Amino acid sequence: MASVKLEDCSQTLELNVNIKDEEEEEKIGTSVSHGDRVETFSTSREQQQEDHRVKRFSVLDHLKTHERIHTGEKPYSCSDCVKCFTTSTELNVHQRTHTGEKPYSCSDCVKCFTTSTRLKVHQRTHTGEKPYFCSDCGVSFSLLGHLKRHARIHTGEKPYTCSDCGKSFSLLCHLKRHARIHTGEKPYSCSDCVKCFTTSTGLIVHQRTHKS
């Protein structure tokens, strides 16, 4: 077993390969049973060494990809826009935003998705699966992000801070809503009159004056 230690972080990638010593036999016998018949195959030292080189290349390629997290290198660029990515897989997924391709379809409904991960998350709406549990109160969630957001109720964490007044919030949407106090932005407009509001709730309350 060989391992590769990464200098920039604590992660260790292990290379699980075995190379036969020169003292050991040149060929390894492998028996495969087919009912009442047994066949024996031989694997040469050269084949073993070739398999080792393939495995070693795979792990070193993984290491090189991981190191881009630290270097910031993004060698794969989109030909349709200016975005760049650390892996070819990330680029392929991104390009679906331009092509509209959604190769992963739900077997329970007609929805399709760009990645298998998004399909898996969507399928929880059908199965009711909620694999993420709060260790403080036992409430479960279908998304890890929802659990992390919920956990701030218990920890009191407020990671989003207003740059204008220093007030902090547990949710980004709450910070954005608060920021309108400083900017004066009122993105919610009434379709019946010219009034605008900073929140959708304010608009809904106002619209009742037209219905009454």
Per-residue pLDDT of the chain (212 residues; tens, 9 = 90+): 445 445 556 555 444 444 344 434 333 444 444 455 554 444 556 666 666 555 555 677 778 888 888 899 999 999 999 899 999 999 999 999 999 999 999 999 989 999 999 999 999 999 999 999 999 999 999 999 999 999 999 999 999 999 999 999 999 999 999 999 999 999 999 999 989 999 999 999 999 999 86
On whether residue 176 sits in a domain, the answer given is yes
On whether residue 185 sits in a domain, the answer given is yes
Q: What confidence score (pLDDT) does residue 155 get? A: 96
On whether residue 126 sits in a domain, the answer given is no
Full residue range of the structural domain in which residue 197 is found: 162-211
Q: What confidence score (pLDDT) does residue 30 get? A: 44
d(CA 172, CA 92): 29
Reported as a single tens digit per residue, the pLDDT across 55-66 is 555 677 778 888
Could you please report the per-residue DSSP string of 24-61?
S-SEEEEEEEETTEEEEEEEEHHHHHHHHHHHHHHHHH
On whether residue 182 sits in a domain, the answer given is yes
Are the CB atoms for 28 and 47 separated by under 8 Å? no
Work out how many domains the chain is built from and give that number: 1
Indicate the pTM of the whole model. 0.54
State which H helix or E strand residue 1 sits in.
none
d(CA 61, CA 56): 8
On whether residue 74 sits in a domain, the answer given is no
Q: What confidence score (pLDDT) does residue 51 get? A: 61
For residue 103, give the nearest of 142, 127, 95, 80 by alpha carbon: 95
Q: How far is CA 60 from CA 2, 7, 29, 69, 176, in A?
A: 12, 14, 30, 15, 44
Are the CB atoms for 31 and 39 separated by under 8 Å? yes
On whether residue 46 sits in a domain, the answer given is no
On whether residue 131 sits in a domain, the answer given is no
State which H helix or E strand residue 160 sits in.
strand 160-161
CATH number at residue 170: 3.30.160.60
On whether residue 177 sits in a domain, the answer given is yes
Q: What confidence score (pLDDT) does residue 91 get? A: 94
